[in-house]
């Protein structure tokens, strides 16, 4: 019988992340070596997360993900450096007054700074969520105040009420309106546990309603039980696949399987969401490896994905009971020499590793439960 314990132990030898993706032994002083290596590789001393595969640029997504990992690791010094760099360089020194600029790097004039002031809503959403959870963990009123102001700004600038649909989250303030009156949306920007967590902290906000419309989104655009990178929403007509946006699901959509796989088993909508994604499990079982791209309309798959896709799918494959496929992905990662030292793949891997090692869990209400990273009293 391929038990859950077997699933966790089967990834213990997984090489290529900053440390092995595997089952840590319960220990209140257990350091997260994977986080330590990620921090040493990708985070400057001043708190900037560097994507070496993109000319040394930084993104709001990278900063938000790293803040999540630092919180899970109970690494407050790094958390503070990450937050200060983010505030100073992506938000003009005040996260309460503006959304984060999504891209920072070396500009054509040779100077370093913001390259694109448009926001990426997933990063702002994750950051507001992380600040709420950090305020809980460290009993810090200033972090909670910052979180409340951030979520209010996200609601004001990024949440749109669509007639006949309800609230939707735009990917950014600019560039996502469609000519005929609809909007372009990114399903991977909508992790249900994060929306649940914001709803728990600010019940008066749009987050509970947004979680409901997000589930409707997934049920409307997955005819082959596969998630696309981009979809459209139209007043009165709802969510749908759009030929002009393309039906491809790849680099963006891979995160949707990761977010769903990490949902609480007590979440009332977990089974419904996983049902809308079961096409990926079928393809992985058929092809033995995750495809690099899928056509969400036809169900066709193309190309072999990088190793980072395999590790990102581990929580999802466990959640849908695809134990043999999960074992194959573990073996694939080892056979490929591990996860490449590329920011995006390493970040996906660190989410999966932290979840597999039970370093964090999302509760049914979205609040973060941290496991084996408690402060060690020496």
Q: How far apart are CA 227 and CA 191, in angstroms?
A: 13
Instruction: Please name which of 32, 106, 99, 94 lies closest in space to residue 69, comparing C-alpha atoms.
Output: 32
**Catalytic residue from among 31, 51, 80, 122:** 122
Q: Is 61 a catalytic residue?
A: yes
Q: How much is the pLDDT for 377?
A: 39
**Catalytic residue from among 61, 252, 295, 318:** 61
pTM of structure: 0.92
Helix (H, G, I), strand (E, B) or coil at 123: helix
Q: Is 229 a catalytic residue?
A: no
Architecture of the 41-157 domain: Alpha/alpha barrel (1.50)
- Residue-wise pLDDT for 272-327, tens only, equals 999 999 999 999 999 999 999 999 999 999 999 999 999 999 999 999 999 999 99
Whole-number average pLDDT of the chain: 91
Weakest mean pLDDT among 226-235, 255-264, 369-378: 369-378
Over residues 153-176, the mean pLDDT reads: 97
20 falls in which pLDDT band (50, 70, 90)?
Answer: very low
- Residue-wise pLDDT for 98-133, tens only, equals 999 999 999 999 999 999 999 999 999 999 999 999
Q: Reply yes or no on whether the pLDDT at 376 is more than 90.
A: no
b/e 81-101 (16+ beta carbons within 10 angstroms → b): bbbebbbebbbeeebeeebbb
- Residue-wise pLDDT for 27-78, tens only, equals 445 789 999 999 999 999 999 999 999 999 999 999 999 999 999 999 999 9
| Segments making up each domain of the chain, as ranges | 41-157
% of the chain beyond a pLDDT of 90: 88
8 A C-beta contact, residue 307 and residue 338: yes
Q: Count other C-beta atoms under 10 Å from residue 4's C-beta.
A: 10
24 falls in which pLDDT band (50, 70, 90)?
Answer: very low
Q: How much is the pLDDT for 373?
A: 56
Q: Reply yes or no on whether the pLDDT at 86 is more than 60.
A: yes
The answer to whether the Cα torsion of 177, 183, 184, 190 is positive or negative is positive
């Amino acid at each position: 019988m391929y038990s859950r314990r077997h699933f966790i132990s089967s990834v213990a030898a997984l090489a290529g992340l900053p440390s092995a993706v595997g089952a840590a032994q319960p220990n209140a002083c257990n350091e997260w070596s994977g986080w330590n290596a990620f921090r040493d590789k990708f985070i400057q001393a001043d708190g900037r997360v560097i994507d070496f595969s993109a000319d040394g640029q930084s993104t709001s997504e990278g900063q938000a993900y790293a803040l999540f990992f630092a919180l899970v690791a109970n690494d407050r010094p790094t958390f503070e450096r990450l937050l200060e760099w983010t505030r100073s360089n992506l938000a003009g020194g005040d996260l309460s007054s503006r959304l984060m600029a999504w891209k920072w790097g070396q500009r054509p004039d040779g100077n370093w700074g913001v390259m694109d002031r448009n926001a990426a809503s997933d990063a702002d959403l994750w950051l507001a969520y992380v600040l709420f959870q950090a305020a809980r963990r460290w009993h810090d009123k200033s972090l909670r105040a910052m979180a409340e102001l951030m979520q209010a700004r996200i609601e004001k600038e990024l949440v749109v009420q669509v007639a006949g649909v309800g609230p939707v989250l735009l990917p950014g303030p600019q560039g996502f309106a469609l000519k005929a009156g609809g909007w372009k949306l990114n399903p991977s920007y909508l992790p249900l546990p994060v929306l649940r967590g914001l709803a728990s902290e600010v019940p008066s906000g749009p987050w509970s309603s947004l979680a409901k419309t997000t589930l409707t989104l997934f049920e409307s655009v997955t005819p082959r039980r596969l998630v696309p990178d981009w979809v459209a929403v139209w007043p009165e007509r709802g969510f749908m696949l759009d030929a002009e946006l393309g039906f491809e699901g790849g680099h963006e959509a891979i995160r949707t399987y990761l977010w769903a796989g990490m949902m609480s088993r007590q979440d009332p909508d977990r089974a419904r969401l996983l049902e809308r994604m079961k096409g990926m499990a079928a393809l992985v079982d058929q092809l033995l490896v995750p495809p690099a791209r899928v056509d969400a309309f036809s169900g066709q798959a193309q190309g072999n994905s990088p190793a980072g896709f395999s590790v990102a799918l581990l929580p999802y494959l466990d959640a849908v009971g695809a134990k043999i496929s999960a074992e194959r992905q573990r073996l694939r990662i080892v056979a490929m020499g591990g996860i490449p030292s590329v920011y995006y793949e390493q970040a996906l891997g660190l989410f999966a590793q932290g979840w597999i090692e039970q370093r964090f869990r999302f509760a049914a209400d979205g609040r973060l439960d941290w496991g084996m990273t408690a402060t060690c009293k020496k």
